[in-house]
Every structure is written in C-alpha cells, then in structure tokens.
Amino acid sequence: MNENQRIQQVLSGNTSAFAYFVETYQVMAITIAYRICGNIQDAEDVVQESYVKAFRNLRSFRSDSKFSTWLYRIVYNTSITHTKTQMWIGVREAGIEDASHLADNTLEMNMDEKERKEIVADVMQKMPKGDALLLTLYYMEDNPVKEIAKITGLNEPNVKVKLFRARKLFKEMVVSSYGMQVTGS
C-alpha cells in the first residue's frame, strides 16, 4: 500500500492508519526538531504538535510532493515557532554564482564506524543549527536540494550555497577538533 492510499484511509475515517506515518517518520522528525530546538524534550513536544497539525490538515496535503517533505516542513515551522528562532539571521540571500564550487570533498577517517559516528555527532552538535539541519536533511535523510528547499522555505541556489558552507564548516571543525585530514579541492 502506498502513502496516498494510506492518506485516503485516514481521510475515510480509519484514524489508526495515521500510525504508519508516525512510525515511518518519527526519527527524522525528532532529529529535525532537535537540531532547531537544541534539546530532546522540546523536540519531542514539537514533533507531537507537528503530528497533530499534520493529522488535522491532512486534507490540505497535495500529492505533488512527498508526504515526508510536507511533514518535515510542518516540523521545521513548528520548531522555529516553538523556539522563536530565525534560522538564517544575518545571512545574505546567496546567488547561484556562489554555488559554483560545490565539490564533494572527502574526509580521511581511518577509524571504526562507532568512532566516526561519535565525531560526526559531536561536530554536528557544535555547529550552528541551520547548518546542522541542512547536513542532516541532505546526508542522513538523503533529501535532494529541491526537497530541502521545500522543507526550509529557502530557494534552491541558497540551499546549495548553504550546504557548501555547512560542509566546509563541518570539515574545518573536524580538522580543528580532531586533527583529521581533509582531501579534495
């Protein structure tokens, strides 16, 4: 059964069918909220509120985008409202020319998977919220730039530039904190 069929079940009165969406998207929803709110309790509250909003507004979901994108946009907006945070304060609107060097540099990490995950988690925790969120959506959730733009409300060139800068900052923080080598241009 695909997601549109599940949505139709919920809209037809089978409210328990909504549990599929909660189970499927809970982890990433909490991750997004946590990146913005900064603590797990607030993140859990935001996600719960977001699911209530999604359920109440399910009729307004248009199948022209993925359900996950729609839901993550609700989580993102609810998180921003909850924390009264502006994610991109003082950042100028970037042009496409700024995104010309989106090279995918690689980080040399000769360590086991557990160490690598601990380093990534540590650095992501120290990064600015917006940067950590973009890296999470792109690398952990495998969202394309177009979907990230829909979730965050940024335009696609700006997402590309911010992703480039977030990757660069991440690498700089890994190098400065852990003395790792960065390869590539």
User: Between 3-11 and 19-37, two packed helices, what is the crossing angle to 10 degrees?
Assistant: 100
CATH code given to domain 96-183? 1.10.10.10
Angle, vertex CA 62, rays to CA 57 and CA 66, nearest 5: 100
Domain 3-83 class?
mainly alpha
The residue ranges of every structural domain in the chain are: 3-83, 96-183
- Chain center to CA of 50: 15
Residue 103 has pLDDT above 50, yes or no: no
What's the rounded Cα separation, in Å, for the pair 162 and 43?
Answer: 23
What's the rounded Cα separation, in Å, for the pair 90 and 92?
Answer: 6
pTM: 0.67
AA identity, residue 20: Y
pLDDT tens-digit readout, 28-71: 999 999 988 888 999 999 999 999 999 999 999 988 888 999 99
